[in-house]
């Protein structure tokens, strides 16, 4: 594997674990606000991010590459309104998309087709993550000011269950 591609994948493992921390922090915020459904949504998001990191971890090992684990930064966002975490989540997903695109581009440049094929799943996943984030914002804009509607939205988010990715390495 190309040295730059391996380095970028190693860095992405850390970024994915940071994403899990960020989403746990968002879950903390919503728990404090009494919105257990919103908290559930972000706790599951955190699990998904951990899975993403582990997929990359295994991929590097399966390709004979060294994995270097670095310290995970503490989330540095503060949230005031119920909308703040939703917007932070969308911004973060857009950032992660840019990181995945950078790795993909680096793999393409060196004709590392195995890695580009591996990353295809992440490219699709990021599209889904950004859409989910945008949908959450839209729904909060539409319903968040009405207590009954917010209660229903919270209940809907509480029903989300965790599903591990089924990506074959």
One DSSP character per residue, 7-22 reads HHHHHHHHHHHHHHHH
Give residue limits of the domains in the chain. Answer: 3-68+80-158
Q: How confident is the model at residue 118 (pLDDT cuts 50, 70, 90)?
A: very high
Does the pLDDT at position 169 exceed 70?
A: no
pLDDT tens sequence across 13-41: 999 999 999 999 999 999 999 999 999 99
The pTM is what? 0.92
CATH, range 3-68+80-158: 1.20.1260.10
Q: 150, 143 in Cβ contact below 8 A? A: yes
CA-based nearest residue to 137, from 83, 80, 91, 79: 83
Determine the Cα–Cα distance for residues 124 and 127; give it in Å rounded to an integer: 5
* Tokens representing residue 135 in the block: 């949908």
User: 57 is written with which tokens?
Assistant: 């971890």
The Cα 147–Cα 151 span in angstroms is 6
The mean pLDDT of 95-108, rounded to a whole number, is 98
Give me the pLDDT at residue 129, please: 95
pLDDT of residue 12: 98
**pLDDT at residue number 110:** 98
* Rg, C-alpha atoms of the chain: 17
């Amino acid at each position: 594997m190309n040295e730059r591609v391996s380095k970028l994948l190693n860095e992405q493992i850390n970024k994915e674990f940071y994403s899990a921390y960020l989403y746990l922090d968002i879950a903390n915020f919503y728990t404090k606000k009494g919105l257990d459904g919103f908290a559930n949504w972000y706790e599951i998001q955190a699990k998904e991010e951990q899975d993403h990191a582990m997929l990359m971890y295994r991929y590097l090992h399966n390709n004979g590459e060294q994995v270097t684990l670095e310290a995970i930064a503490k989330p540095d966002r503060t949230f005031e309104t119920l909308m703040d975490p939703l917007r932070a989540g969308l911004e973060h997903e857009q950032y992660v998309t840019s990181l995945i695109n950078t790795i993909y581009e680096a793999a393409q440049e060196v004709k590392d087709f195995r890695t580009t094929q591996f990353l295809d799943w992440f490219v699709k996943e990021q599209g889904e993550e950004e859409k989910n984030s945008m949908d959450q914002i839209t729904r909060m804009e539409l319903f968040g000011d009405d207590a009954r509607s917010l209660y229903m939205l919270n209940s809907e988010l509480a029903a989300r269950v965790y599903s591990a990715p089924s990506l074959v390495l």
